[in-house]
Chains A and B, each alone.
Chain A
Amino acid sequence: MALRTLVSGKTLGALSRFQQQIRGLQTFTLPDLAYDYGALEPAISGEIMQLHHQKHHQTYITNYNKALEQLDDAIAKGDASTAVKLQSAIKFNGGGHVNHSIFWKNLAPTHEGGGEPPHGSLGWAIDQHFGSMEKLIAKMNTEGAAVQGSGWVWLAVDKELKRLVIETTANQDPLVTKGASLVPLIGIDVWEHAYYLQYKNVRPDYLKNIWKVINWKYASEVYKKECP
């Protein structure tokens, strides 16, 4: 089995977690990756994966837990203005946690099926909506490269309209901010931290290469669940 040198997110002190559990507050922890940091080379370097997972994602989780704790306090005290003020921190950090958790599942090493196009209903839906896989990839790459600053580009299914859509979100906004019925299938992180060490400012190259490690199996499962 692959050796993972991950010190997972149990950095949150055991005591404070105990206190939170007493209060009934759910804390979040860093989910493990299903693969090694270096398993996605050469599309994404191991250094980026490690930093991205252990530093960035962990920071989002830590700050999210902190914000939730503060929100809990504010609600208990009836402090409406603090509760509202914390919303942006919750959207940012919570969104970061949600988005990255999906992102890790969206990636898989090539020898475990990464990059293999979907068969079945998702593959058929892609061909129907976009014409072909190549066209989908081209469109997503264009949208991803056009994101100003930091954000994400998503392939999502609208569960009400049973349609595939491509959307972009800014910063760490979760996909639901673009539509309550949107369910993310594939999300690509176009924050600079996701590619800078390897690709510098050439975001289009990163977008071109990441498709080699995209885990379509996960996307197909989600799609089948929403559109049986």
Chain B
Amino acid sequence: MSWTCSNYLCLSSSSSSSLIDSHELTLFNRCKLSSEYKELRRKDHDSLRPINTCAYLGLKPPTHKLDKGQRKKDCVLNKPKNICAYYSLRPPSYKFDALEPYMSQRTLEVHWGEHHRGYVESLNKYLEKDDILYGYTMDELIKVTYNNGNPLPEFNVAAQVWNHDFFWESMQPGGGNSPTLGLLRQIEKDFGSFSDFREEFIENALTLFGSGWVWLVLKRNEKRLAVVQTTNAITPLVWDDIPLLSLDMWEHSYYLDYKNNKAQYANVFMDHLVSWNMALARIAYAQSFVNLGEPKIPVA
């Protein structure tokens, strides 16, 4: 079982998943990171690198934003200069052939192994060069580089790294069917019925022009679920909404399996790949941040 670190209640279908809290980046993890990236050491780097990198997660609210000077002052421990922390490529929690025949092993190999890996490496290259952006958590990095609609070049890679991690988690072998419990109730409340939601989701997938993503989000301000389309690398995080599921509508995601048949891809995703367990866990977590309704307090 590959090493994962996640704040989510990760109900993955494979065997034991080790849940490591984001703040507990242990010595073991740090050594693993530093040994992986030994050759990327900075030579004249003089301040401590904060150790909060490999723990990027979707739902943490933004922490207090320290400016660059403050960050450096806070980190007073003397760390050896040859340990740097970088983002690493997290594999999906299932084997590459686990999603056959709906998403082929070849697609996962190329999509994860080349596209996703390429994004992670580009991100690390950017962070190596740029002192100002280093030190943010992933969520903050995405929001900061989005720059309120005028994205910096790092935005695309950072957001795509996050998006793809989210996408792998949004799928599971033996997925599909329909949501249960509170998520189903919420979907029925906000869309009318599950099939209405499914139709809207697929329609959004098919009417997307160009490359982008389709999301099921929980809108923070409106306190309701919605289906959202975004282009290229944009994610609902930039609007402070909480994504529950995503579908990658970039052509690289389905071209090898379905060529230009987007409709089949979207339907197969909904029928066989989508992980409602994950969405349920996420909405449960999200309820710590968004009040979805009055609790049913019995009247005496």
Contact = CB atoms under 8 A, between A and B. Distances in A.
A193 interface: yes
Given A192-B250, A192-B251, A193-B255, A149 B115 contact: no
Contact residue range for chain A? 20 to 34
Contacts, number: 53
Given A51-B259, A200-B110, A150 B115 contact: no
B114 A55 contact: no
Nearest to B110: A200
Contacts of B114: 200-201
B211 interface: yes
B150 to A, nearest CB: 14
Nearest to A88: B209
Contacts of B118: 201
Nearest to A170: B210
A80 interface: no
Contacts of A193: 251, 255, 260
Interface in A79-114: 88, 92
Contacts of B212: 149
Contacts of A150: 210-211, 251
A170 B255 CA distance: 20
Contacts of B52: none
Interface string B106-123: 000010001100100000
Contacts of A62: none
A168 to B, nearest CB: 13
A148 B251 contact: no
B210 A201 contact: no
Contacts of B259: 51, 55, 197
Contacts of A159: none
Interface of A: 51, 55-56, 59, 88, 92, 148-151, 170-172, 191-193, 196-197, 200-201
Given A149-B231, A149-B250, A193-B251, 12 more contacts: A55-B259, A59-B260, A148-B233, A149-B211, A149-B233, A150-B211, A191-B210, A192-B252, A192-B255, A193-B255, A201-B110, A201-B115
17 contacts: A51-B260, A55-B259, A59-B260, A88-B209, A92-B209, A148-B233, A149-B211, A150-B210, A151-B210, A192-B255, A193-B251, A196-B251, A196-B256, A200-B110, A200-B252, A201-B115, A201-B252
